[in-house]
Amino acid sequence: MTCNSKIGEQTTYVSEFFNMQQTGQPMKAGYTASNDNGGNGFCGLLLMLISFILIAATFPFSLCSCVKVVQEYERAVIFRLGRLLGGAKGPGIFFIIPCTDEYRKVDLRTRTFDVPPQEILTKDSVTVQMDAVVYYRVRDATMAVTNVENVDGATRLLAQTTLRNMLGTKSLSEILTDREQIAHGMLASLDQATDVWGIQVERIEIKDVRLPMQLQRAMAAEAEAAREARAKVIAAEGEKNASVQLKEAADVMASAPNAMQLRFLQTLNTISAEKNSTIVFPIPIDLLSALKR
């Protein structure tokens, strides 16, 4: 890469930037505004010329400082004399001028961080603590470097405030039952807010919801009382059904005089099988009725 090609690339960038400003067209991703309307000027060109002379004078040792390599999952954002040089470079090898160029590596892999437990007052005036996990990655390396100072810190703080604002509009029952819906709402809100930073939020998971101890005991007592009430209702329904069946059995036995005697013999057989030392002599009901007469 020669000096003329580098200077021509820089001149093309500056002229394209000012043409977009004069025509009122929106700037492309990777271009940033500057207060210096005159470009690098004579001083910048002189500094670049001196840099190329030094590179040529120290060749091939200068290649160690001029040739850089970024990995497949990385991008390099280059600034020449404080101005953004095109878009992000990489992956692979790229060339910089040591005296005039500065570059920053940006990792494009997915990152995760834990949102610290946030103490939140719900819609129905209940204090809860909730934490979450956020998965995000850098979508545009140029925007992540030029539009925000610390993209990781800004994303963390925004995730905390988004969690607090989202849960402040929910009641306790909604927080306990609609955790997936809350996570989707946070994802949409956070992804929209970080879009101008070149960040894509991929996933948000709610980890835990912590309730005050007094509220936990109250909810446990309420659940226990509800279970006892259901158990009593089930037992009452069982007794009612059993009484109906016993009435039907009594009507059947009343229609057959020998049915009661057979029932006595069946009961005696059952008792003798379980307790052999116990002897039971059933007294017929007919005998008792005869004695009454």
The answer to whether the CB of 56 falls within 8 A of the CB of 1 is no
Burial of 69 (0-12, 13-18, 19+ CB in 10 A): exposed
94: phi then psi, degrees, rounded to nearest 5 = -140, 165
pTM of the full predicted structure? Answer: 0.60
Return the beta strands (E) in the chain as ranges.
67-70, 74-80, 83-84, 92-95, 101-107, 111-121, 127-138, 199-210
Mean pLDDT, rounded, for 261-290:
67
- 102-130 per-position pLDDT tens digit: 888 898 999 998 888 888 888 888 888 88
Residue 293's pLDDT band (cuts 50, 70, 90): low
Higher local confidence (pLDDT), 234 or 26 = 234
Tokens of 81: 């004399």
Q: Is 106 left (phi over 0), alpha (psi -120 to 50) or beta?
A: beta
**pLDDT at 258 (0 to 100):** 72
Overall size of the chain counted in residues? 293
Say if residue 216's pLDDT is above 80. no
Say if residue 235's pLDDT is above 50. yes
Residue 288's pLDDT band (cuts 50, 70, 90): low
